[in-house]
Amino acid sequence: MDLSVRKGIPDWAIAAALAVVIAAGGMGAYVAWSGSSGENRRGNLVCEKCGHQFEISAQDYHAAQAESRGANVRCPKCGQLAAEPVMARCPKCQRPIRHRDVEPGSPAHLQRLCPFCGQKMPA
Ligand SMILES: [Zn+2]
Ligand SMILES: [Zn+2]
């Protein structure tokens, strides 16, 4: 990616774009993967049904996506296809923030705030 285009674009927007590319059409899932080396990177997911949070490697995530044919992944705790990627965790309210929690163009999106409590997210 041409680094010059990064000016003024929030890092998580970059990450979102990358995640879409990485997911290869996987419903536009957003995954804030930690680390930097390909399939060894890890990301956090949260289950919509039971609230279980767990870590998964990019490789496992893609395999699970292929199985579910969507962005959601099977929760290891309750077994439902309800686990979604978490792109960040709020340092104040500790809630996991998913892509769809942040409305595009909203203050939370543009100013990188927690959509739940308004806390400024760390860079
Ligand atoms: Zn669950
Ligand atoms: Zn918060």
Query: What tens digit of pLDDT does each residue of 50-107 get?
Result: 999 999 988 888 888 888 887 689 999 999 999 998 988 899 999 999 988 999 999 9
Starting from the CA of residue 82, give the closest ligand.
Answer: 1
The Cα 52–Cα 46 span in angstroms is 6
Residue 123 lies in a domain: no
Residue 8 lies in a domain: yes
With 0.85 as the threshold, say if the pTM is over it.
no
Q: How far is CA 55 from CA 75, 78, 114, 119, in A?
A: 11, 15, 21, 24
Task: Give the pLDDT mean for 3-18.
Answer: 61
Query: How many angstroms separate the alpha carbon of residue 49 from the centre of ligand 1?
Result: 5
Cβ atoms 88, 81 nearer than 8 A? no
Query: How many angstroms separate the alpha carbon of residue 47 from the centre of ligand 1?
Result: 5
Query: How many angstroms separate the alpha carbon of residue 46 from the centre of ligand 2?
Result: 16
Share the mean pLDDT of the chain: 78
Residue 121 lies in a domain: no
* The pLDDT value given to residue 15: 65
Map tokens 């419903």 to a residue. Answer: 27
* The pLDDT value given to residue 25: 36
35 pLDDT above the threshold of 70: no
Residue 43 lies in a domain: yes
Number of domains observed in the structure of the chain: 1
Query: How many angstroms separate the alpha carbon of residue 116 from the centre of ligand 2?
Result: 5
Query: How many angstroms separate the alpha carbon of residue 115 from the centre of ligand 1?
Result: 22
The Cα 122–Cα 55 span in angstroms is 21
Residue 120 lies in a domain: no
Residue 119 lies in a domain: no
Query: How many angstroms separate the alpha carbon of residue 50 from the centre of ligand 2?
Result: 20
* The pLDDT value given to residue 29: 39
At 114, list the tokens. Answer: 């927690």
DSSP 8-class letter at 101: G
Query: How many angstroms separate the alpha carbon of residue 46 from the centre of ligand 1?
Result: 8
Residue 64 lies in a domain: yes
Could you give the residue ranges of the DSSP H alpha helices within the chain?
A: 11-23, 58-68, 107-110
* The pLDDT value given to residue 83: 94
Cβ atoms 68, 58 nearer than 8 A? no
* The pLDDT value given to residue 34: 53
Task: Give the pLDDT mean for 31-49.
Answer: 72
Residue 87 lies in a domain: yes
* CA 34 remoteness from chain centre: 11
- Segments forming the whole domain that contains residue 21: 3-110
Mind listing the pLDDT tens digit for each residue in 59-69? 888 888 888 88
Sign of CA dihedral 67, 71, 72, 76: positive
